[in-house]
Amino acid sequence: MSDVPPPPDPGPSPRRGRLGPAVLLLVTVAAVAIGLYLGARPLPQEPAPAPSSPAPTASATATPDPLAGLHVVLDPGHNGRNAAATAEVNAPTDDGRGGTKACNTVGTATLSGYPEHAFTWDVAVRTRALLEAAGATVTLTREDDAGVGPCVDERGRSAQEHDGDLLVSLHADGSEDPQVRGYFAIVSEPPLNEAQGEPSRALARAMLQALAEAGFTPSSSYAGALSQRPDLGTLNWAERPVVMLELAQMHNAGEAAVLETEEGRQRYAAAIADGVGRWAAAR
């Protein structure tokens, strides 16, 4: 049905009586048709202005690889054969402060037997994939979970030796009290160089914030879930911003139930990658 109104009634005409019904019908139909035609015709328009260059959109200006140019060194703690190489693992190593430290350790495990070295390796591999997808270059301090070491001094020097921008060492804690829970970060104190100072603390804050926003529980054992220690060679030898993350308490049943699953380890990896991104954006 057309929305065009019928022609206005011209009022009575002295000649209408002479036309007859058939002629009046034809006139009416013709008038309606003309009205429809005129209503459907496009009105003349001024020529459209020449198209200009489109304004940049958010998707066009966003960096497709937000971490492009960033080189991250990930240190998955311990190693799969450490327990079978006691002499090598226990060999004294320079701790970076003039003392000595064992080359490495076996690490801890959940009460069901899932080992820390397997957890840190899996999380590191997952984190690497996420960081590389964002454009970063990623180096791991060990090639697999079937070797021994490397020693803490090698781990600590890895960032500068690979020309990395930062070093994140991944661990999980093993408190004897199964009620203890929560993640925390460790930095070197007192700092031995500029990178171990505020840059490392900024990295720790970014990681702690990312873990909190991912829904993990912070440790109540340290103020702000931040521990400061002088005795960790992995931290002492670093000449780039460095942080050691104790991601969970492996003897806590609730946290063990999360980290023993692929979904849980993927959550940890996503939080670490987020922390790297936060740190990179703020520096």
Rounded Cα distance between 169 and 177, Å, is 24
> Is the CA virtual torsion 269, 271, 274, 280 positive or negative?
negative
Distance between the two ends of the chain, CA-based, in angstroms? 67
Rounded Cα distance between 54 and 148, Å, is 58
Query: What single DSSP character describes residue 273?
Result: H
- How many CB atoms within 10 Å of residue 143? 8
Check 246, 255, 260, 262 and give the catalytic one. Answer: 246
Query: What single DSSP character describes residue 7?
Result: P
Preceding amide of 199 cis, omega within 30: no
Rounded Cα distance between 143 and 135, Å, is 21
Burial of 217 (0-12, 13-18, 19+ CB in 10 A): middle
Helix axes 262-282, 116-133, angle to 10 degrees: 50
Task: Confirm whether 154 is a catalytic residue.
Answer: no
Q: 43 vs 35, 38, 40, 47, CA distance in Å? A: 14, 9, 9, 12
On whether the CB atoms of residues 242 and 160 are closer than 8 A, the answer is no
Which residues are identified as catalytic? 246
